[in-house]
Amino acid sequence: MKAKLLTTASLLAILSACMSTSDPLGPPASAWGNYLSWYKVTPQAETGDPTGFLGSVHDGSRAYRQIYVNAVGEAVNRGQAGFPYPEGTILLKESFNNEAALEARRNPDITVMVKLAQGSSPATGDWEYVRPDGARGTGDSGLGAFCRDCHLFAAATDYNFINSRFYENNR
């Protein structure tokens, strides 16, 4: 039993070591320090798996999630301008473990997508992905590929799942 636990632990270590990250291309985290003043994409916190693509990531389907977009990307998100998003767009998602944590605003996991200048990271659609621990993923890094491979299901809306078009189609 102990040997099995050790094996699982070392396997996890190997897996996370394999997920390479990349040097920041986008702005420092202070760029989203005031996100609570941004346009809130989710009128109410969402739970469950509204897109059907979530699986166990972003704290899983039992988490309560809220999404925000900065002023640069707001018109596209709200359907007032066409995709793709302009450079400088920041999409941010808060994931709370459960409803009580949401109400208390306790320890949300923050994941972020930053739209870079065109051609900066073709492999990720010029998005920089930021994990809750601050690690960045662009280009052919493991983290960039991990986030991209699932956000690719939203390729028609520039890798962004939740926006006004999503709500129109799911009314």
Give me the residues that bind ligand HEC (CB under 6 A), please.
50-51, 53-55, 57-58, 65, 67, 91-93, 111-113, 129-131, 146-147, 150-151, 154, 160-162
For residues 31, 34, 36, 38, the Cα torsion angle rounded to the nearest 10 degrees is -60
Q: How far is the CB of 64 from ligand HEC (least distance, A)?
A: 9
Query: Measured from the CB atom, is 30 or 133 closer to ligand HEC?
Result: 133
Q: How far is the CB of 32 from ligand HEC (least distance, A)?
A: 10
- 100/155 with CB nearer ligand HEC: 155
Q: Which is nearer to ligand HEC, 6 or 155 (CB)?
A: 155
